[in-house]
Amino acid sequence: MSKLGQAQRALLESPLDGWLLYDFRHSNPLFWELLGASLHSTRRVFMLLRREAAPLLLVHQVDAGHFPREGLEQREYRSREELQALLRQALGGCHRVAMEYSPLGALPALSWVDAGTLELVRSLGMAVESSAELVQAALCRLTDGELVSHRRAAKALSRIVLEAFDYVGAQAPRGVDELAVTGFIRERFVTAGLWTDEGPIVAVNQHAGDPHYAPTPETSLPIRPGDWVLIDLWAKEPEGIFADITWVAYVGAQPPPTHRRVFQVVTGARDAAVDFLRREVAAGRYPQGWEADRVAREFIAAAGYGDRFTHRLGHSLGQVVHGYGANLDGYETLDTRRLTPGLAFTIEPGVYLPDFGMRSEIDLYMGESGPEITSAAQREIVLVQP
């Protein structure tokens, strides 16, 4: 089934009258994901999904030739008056429509419609609601092929991260730094047929205390015996679904006691969140994203590091690394969407201290019978021997 077909099925299962998608100069990526193509567009365009009719496009005359016509009803406008008249006509009979809007900005990843356009639609008598649940149902449930692609990417990353630590050990006697390891990982992505937009993160000692540190020629630290190394890498097959993992290592035979303790806290929080998801699904309930975040956060807080876990527990995975489905987040936002079958996401608790940082990130797929861990889960600190 096409994404537009999935969207209409989701709409039929909702109490809404329609789903109104709006874009101006590619301001709304979800518009193009549903359309299935990224086309040349210079003017405002609306796409109305209705319960029992073909999707309707309202397109400016100068852009109309770029849009597909098969399976779509298309109406052209030239002036703003014509656009407003067509929009009023299209929405006739509708009372409640969804748009890419989130009340009070609660879900920034789903907030793509500007305030003026929202005012325009409301001026036509519409009650506008968030499209968050429709987006999840239409765009975020993996197909069988997408799941296979995600699993392949997760398997490859789980192998490449260990190869990167081996590379550190082999190169350490001659000298190696964060940027060199970054370059090695990127080369391995190419060999494995994977693509990424940025990264990976290779962070040594205090740099690992910055969750989104990125090495540069000016900041890249050498990696020596006694150093702590965090590697966060994410990639996908060109048309596939991202995998995203984080592992840590110590260069030497015996990590310091504090590092070992924080590792146990972070991996314990990770596993507590996974166990929570499994229990909830076994009890017949798919939990909301924020609930899993709370479980891991309380675990870390009980160990005395609550103020050092400074980001959400996890994010949705899709054709972009931070996907549009439910995040495991009750900290940065309050994500009340349920972690329903078909979704892929990360679990990645972290503790960030002045001299080192700790994160353990795994990927999960929510199946009908519960969550499946699709990437390797780190159980022990990797020991790198130069």
Is residue 361 within 8 Å of residue 227, measured between CB atoms?
no
Q: Of 61-70, 92-101, 243-252, where does mean pLDDT reach its minimum?
A: 61-70
Say if residues 335 and 322 touch (Cβ distance below 8 Å): no
Residue 227 — very low, low, confident or very high, per pLDDT cuts 50/70/90? very high
Instruction: Report the C-alpha gap between 31 and 207 in whole angstroms.
Output: 38
CA-closest candidate to residue 266, choices 139, 193, 352: 352
In the block, which residue shows the tokens 């110590």?
250
Handedness of CA 113, 115, 117, 118 (dihedral sign): positive
Give the pLDDT mean for 115-120.
97
Q: What is the C-alpha to C-alpha distance for residues 246 and 367, in angstroms, rounded to an integer? A: 23
Mean pLDDT of the chain: 96
Nearest to 34 by CA among 137, 143, 108, 107: 137
Decide if pLDDT at 325 tops 80. yes
What pLDDT, in 10s, does the model give residues 131-173? 999 999 999 999 999 999 999 999 999 999 999 999 999 999 9
> What is the C-alpha R_g of the chain?
23
Residue 4's pLDDT is 87
Give the percent of the chain with pLDDT over 70: 100
279-296 residue pLDDT tens: 999 999 999 999 999 999
Q: Does residue 200 have a cis peptide bond before it, meaning omega lies within 30 degrees of 0?
A: yes
Would the pLDDT of 1 be above 80? Answer: no
Q: Where are the domains of the chain?
A: 3-139, 144-384
pLDDT band at 2; cut points 50, 70, 90? confident
Phi–psi pair at 90, nearest 5 degrees? -65, -35
Q: Measure the CA–CA gap between 315 and 295, rounded to whole angstroms.
A: 15
- Go through 107-132 and write b for each residue having 16 or more CB atoms within 10 A of its CB, e for each that does not: bebbbbbeeebbebbeeeebebbbbb
Exposed, middle or buried by CB within 10 Å (0-12, 13-18, 19+), for 238?
exposed
Looking at domain 144-384, its CATH superfamily turns out to be Creatinase/methionine aminopeptidase superfamily (3.90.230.10)
Phi and psi (nearest 5°) for 22?
-130, 140
**Positive or negative torsion for Cα 109, 113, 116, 121:** negative
Cα–Cα distance for residue pair 107/191, rounded to 1 Å: 37
What is the DSSP code (8-state) at residue 328? Answer: B
Three-class DSSP category at 209? helix
Read off the DSSP letter of residue 331: S
CB neighbour list of residue 13: distance below 8 Å, 6 or more residues apart: 137
What is the distance between the alpha carbons of residues 26 and 29, in angstroms, rounded to a whole number?
Answer: 6
Domain 3-139, CATH class in plain words: alpha beta
Identical fold, 3-139 and 144-384: no
296 SS3 class = helix
Residue with tokens 């000298």: 175
| Beta-carbon contacts of residue 22 (< 8 Å; ≥ 6 apart) | 28, 31, 44, 45, 46, 99, 100, 112, 113, 117
- What mean pLDDT do residues 340-368 have? 97
Asked if 314 contacts 320 with a C-beta cutoff of 8 angstroms, the reply is no
H helical segments located in the chain: 3-12, 29-35, 80-90, 115-123, 132-139, 144-171, 178-192, 257-282, 289-302
| Mean pLDDT (whole number) for 216-220 | 95
Average pLDDT over residues 243-267: 97
Rounded Cα distance between 275 and 267, Å, is 12
- Predicted TM-score of the model (pTM): 0.93
pLDDT in tens, 256-277: 999 999 999 999 999 999 999 9
d(CA 120, CA 113): 11
**Of 109, 106, 100, 138, residue with least CA distance to 7:** 138
pLDDT for 80 equals 96
**Cα 231 to Cα 200: distance, rounded to the nearest angstrom:** 7
